[in-house]
A and B are shown apart, each in its own frame.
Chain A
């Protein structure tokens, strides 16, 4: 009875609350307004012109990279592309056979990446391609005596292997010339391996590890092939002409090694398809002065610990002058420029890739503003994270630093989805071409001309 009484009282209180105290949102809005809380944060734009970089520098990451899907061999856009194959096998019968047979030949077979060459995006008048290419083949051959030797090779971590390739010292090398032909009919590039390598293998009896490096520094272009993790993987053949039998060994991993052969060391050249970046740094003063003029407050902020939360950057765009004659590409498609900024993370500067917010009406009428090799004479890049962090922490005198690199070719420059998607007809609409363009773009003149920074700022200052 007592419990019932208590429950009754509580419910009665709730009933009173519901009856007496109605709650209308418009009234709450009035209350918020009376307390000085707006219904939306104030947004203002600020354009800061005539910005020139404090420094700008290109960085080409020439460290060996794993390339098990698609591989590139040759030279294009002043970058040469080498391949290193890693293969290990235990086959005492094979070694016995090649010892007693004179009529054995060895080859490396690379399957041409035909989806790239036969795609409608690849310039049709370029095919067929045919070129006699001088190759340099170098190798390292290790002797083994058991299956466990092969296992031990497989257990070498890929990172370790790639790192060791930086100190590549071949046992031997040889030059050869092959004819590379690319057409609708051609499917394989067959590279005869040097006799010295075969001779070295004849000295073995049970197992071996072969690291084979192929370079084509004088090729007129870079050729694309399938990698080891595809159905058309590269193969190393030993063909016995006497009885037409053959033995095939498959590399289990491939490394891609690039080297920069640009002659202009001061040029700010970015290359597509490789880990190449342009890092641009701006001094703090012009941006702080513009903010100070705009708000009438002191910048950088000095109160408390100095981290500035009086306003925040909702969006930031940097616009550069653009001259596409300073670049060249294989495909003739626009190429997106990917952007990152350097932001603070627990006291360390880290590179953070920027998000890209879509200005749909602009994209529909003029295309994405962040592309090169396209109509127009400007390049606009969003650097929101970077500017947000920079203004927040500018008290320590830091600079604003951003990075750009060439991304994927764009198939639909006026598609505002900016990602491959399924259409209402259940077709896939591809916005990007799935192969990189090994393009070359020189940003030297763009960086010498003044750029404009536009900020959308959310402000929590009150009315003055």
Chain B
């Protein structure tokens, strides 16, 4: 395991993946970014079972769990930006979510997630020509959510459960553009004054929800013998990003910052999904989630000729997946105990004229006899950015999830 962690950290030295929406919210980690869900194309929100873990879109799912589930996920993503035949690559590692669910028998189930719902991360240095000053661009933004949830099965109609979760938003954002002078407009007599002067256009701030401690998700789950469904509603909310804009000559030589705040109206989200089980351990599943963005997002940038707003569109995820569950019998052949996943998705981003098409392969490898699983998934696809300034992105993702299942707090 130490080797795995070393490899993960080796990836962590690079910048982030997608650069679409950097100035708005960044890239969304769909469905909590869980490796198991990603392996089947982000479908399967309706699938119940101890091996599924907590779902940030469907807090009602865990009512049917019987065991404590702990789940942590990592994402290694590589992106190639393309435009007019040119391309360059970026890669990064991140931890999109950490989940813990705790069933309490007749009292329902509780859960807690730490979810990096939106993130932007870029750190690149560019030097043009031999004598030019280096330009450095750096983005670090994370909208983190702590999501406590509670769910229980309905008293009479036990196939149904309801659940709710609160999303407490926190995190910070930073953008720094450092560059040297452009002396083209200066007379030769005046260039001495700006030699060796690098300045940074610097913005940093924090994320929270305006006038409220959290936003909320409510969900209804049905679990049948073969079919399962869920429907969830997430409340609209306004993200508040308090920002300090500054010019920096050095870390110690700065101006008094201009304090501004931007408000991002995040619309309500509707999500639904179904899972159909056939031939005992085979499942097909379909999920849909949508948010009707109707207002532009004020950008963190706005300096130089950067766009001041990001235009939005209806954000929609259509996901279709297949999963063959692994055998729970530890004495079965190991290959039979592995869970196999396959899926694909189509997603319209919240950024106008950005569409994503992707596919994935995944597997869950049981570790030991007690249900602990190592989930791996490979994803690939393309993001089409048809806006004026956007570049298409080919992406390749590699997710690792560790799912621990235990009997804590339960008597035999």
Using a CB–CB distance below 8 Å, which chain A residues touch chain B? 2-3, 6-7, 9-11, 13-14, 16-17, 20-32, 34-45, 301, 303-309, 311-312, 314-315, 344, 357-362, 388-389, 392-393, 456, 458, 460-463
A301 contact set on B, CB distance < 8 A: 258
A303 contact set on B, CB distance < 8 A: 258, 260
- 17 more contacts with CB within 8 A, not counting A21-B87, A37-B137, A42-B182, are A6-B374, A10-B4, A16-B78, A17-B78, A20-B78, A22-B88, A25-B126, A26-B86, A26-B128, A29-B135, A31-B391, A37-B135, A37-B177, A41-B180, A308-B258, A312-B247, A461-B304
Interchain CB contact under 8 A, B83 and A31: yes
B201 contact set on A, CB distance < 8 A: 41, 460
Interchain CB contact under 8 A, A38 and B305: yes
B10 contact set on A, CB distance < 8 A: 14
Which residues, 182 to 224 on B, are CB-close (under 8 Å) to A? 182-183, 185-187, 190, 192-194, 197, 199, 201
CA distance A358 to B196 in the complex (A): 12
| Chain B residue with Cβ nearest A19 | B89
**Residue from A10, A304, A307, A359 in contact with B255 in the complex, judged by beta carbons closer than 8 Å:** A307
CA distance A407 to B220 in the complex (A): 80
Q: Which of B126, B260, B376 has the most CB of A within 10 A?
A: B126
| Chain B residue with Cβ nearest A8 | B7
| Chain A residue with Cβ nearest B11 | A14
A43 contact set on B, CB distance < 8 A: 181-183, 185-186, 194
B127 interface residue, CB < 8 Å from A? Answer: yes
B3 interface residue, CB < 8 Å from A? Answer: yes
B124 contact set on A, CB distance < 8 A: 28
**Residue from B88, B199, B258 in contact with A304 in the complex, judged by beta carbons closer than 8 Å:** B258
3 nearest A-B pairs in the assembled complex, by CB-CB distance: A21-B89, A36-B305, A40-B182
Interchain CB contact under 8 A, A3 and B3: yes
B46 interface residue, CB < 8 Å from A? Answer: no
CB 8 Å contact bits of B4-33 with A (1 = contact, 0 = none): 100110110000000100000000000000
CA distance A10 to B19 in the complex (A): 23
Query: Given A2-B365, A3-B1, A40-B135, is A13 in contact with B76 using a C-beta cutoff of 8 Å?
Result: yes
CA distance A16 to B91 in the complex (A): 11
CA distance A312 to B394 in the complex (A): 39
Query: Given A3-B3, A45-B186, is A40 in contact with B11 using a C-beta cutoff of 8 Å?
Result: no
- Chain B nearest CB, measured from A313 CB (Å): 9
CB 8 Å contact bits of B290-313 with A (1 = contact, 0 = none): 000000000001011111000000
CA distance A9 to B79 in the complex (A): 18
| Chain B residue with Cβ nearest A361 | B192
Provide 16 A-B residue pairs closer than 8 Å at the C-beta atoms, listed in order of the A residue: A3-B3, A16-B78, A21-B91, A22-B88, A29-B126, A35-B306, A39-B126, A40-B179, A40-B181, A40-B183, A42-B185, A43-B183, A304-B259, A309-B246, A456-B194, A458-B197
B162 contact set on A, CB distance < 8 A: none
Query: Given A21-B79, A21-B87, A43-B194, is A7 in contact with B180 using a C-beta cutoff of 8 Å?
Result: no
Interchain CB contact under 8 A, B7 and A25: no
B335 interface residue, CB < 8 Å from A? Answer: no
Interchain CB contact under 8 A, A41 and B257: no
**Residue from B179, B190, B249 in contact with A456 in the complex, judged by beta carbons closer than 8 Å:** B190
CA distance A20 to B380 in the complex (A): 13
CB 8 Å contact bits of B319-352 with A (1 = contact, 0 = none): 0000000000000000000000000000000000
Interchain CB contact under 8 A, A13 and B398: yes
- Chain B nearest CB, measured from A149 CB (Å): 49
CA distance A315 to B197 in the complex (A): 10
CB 8 Å contact bits of B94-132 with A (1 = contact, 0 = none): 000000000000000000000000000000101110001
B389 interface residue, CB < 8 Å from A? Answer: yes
CA distance A31 to B127 in the complex (A): 13
B245 contact set on A, CB distance < 8 A: 304, 309
B133 interface residue, CB < 8 Å from A? Answer: yes
B274 contact set on A, CB distance < 8 A: none
- Chain A nearest CB, measured from B390 CB (Å): 8
- Chain B nearest CB, measured from A418 CB (Å): 14
- Chain A nearest CB, measured from B227 CB (Å): 34
A359 contact set on B, CB distance < 8 A: 192-193
Interchain CB contact under 8 A, A22 and B133: no
**Residue from A26, A36, A305 in contact with B307 in the complex, judged by beta carbons closer than 8 Å:** A36
- Chain A nearest CB, measured from B397 CB (Å): 9
- Chain A nearest CB, measured from B12 CB (Å): 12
A462 contact set on B, CB distance < 8 A: 303-306
B400 interface residue, CB < 8 Å from A? Answer: yes
Interchain CB contact under 8 A, B199 and A41: yes
A361 contact set on B, CB distance < 8 A: 192
- Chain B nearest CB, measured from A105 CB (Å): 60
A456 contact set on B, CB distance < 8 A: 190, 193-194
Interchain CB contact under 8 A, B179 and A24: no
B279 interface residue, CB < 8 Å from A? Answer: no
Interchain CB contact under 8 A, B137 and A23: no
A42 contact set on B, CB distance < 8 A: 182, 185
**Residue from A9, A30, A37, A309 in contact with B398 in the complex, judged by beta carbons closer than 8 Å:** A9
B307 contact set on A, CB distance < 8 A: 35-36
Interchain CB contact under 8 A, A20 and B126: no
CA distance A9 to B362 in the complex (A): 13
- Chain B nearest CB, measured from A345 CB (Å): 11
Interchain CB contact under 8 A, A305 and B258: yes
Interchain CB contact under 8 A, A7 and B4: yes
B156 interface residue, CB < 8 Å from A? Answer: no
Interchain CB contact under 8 A, A307 and B7: no
CA distance A309 to B257 in the complex (A): 7
| Chain B residue with Cβ nearest A305 | B259
- Chain A nearest CB, measured from B402 CB (Å): 11
Interchain CB contact under 8 A, A463 and B194: no
A29 contact set on B, CB distance < 8 A: 126, 128, 135
A10 contact set on B, CB distance < 8 A: 4, 7-8, 11, 76, 398
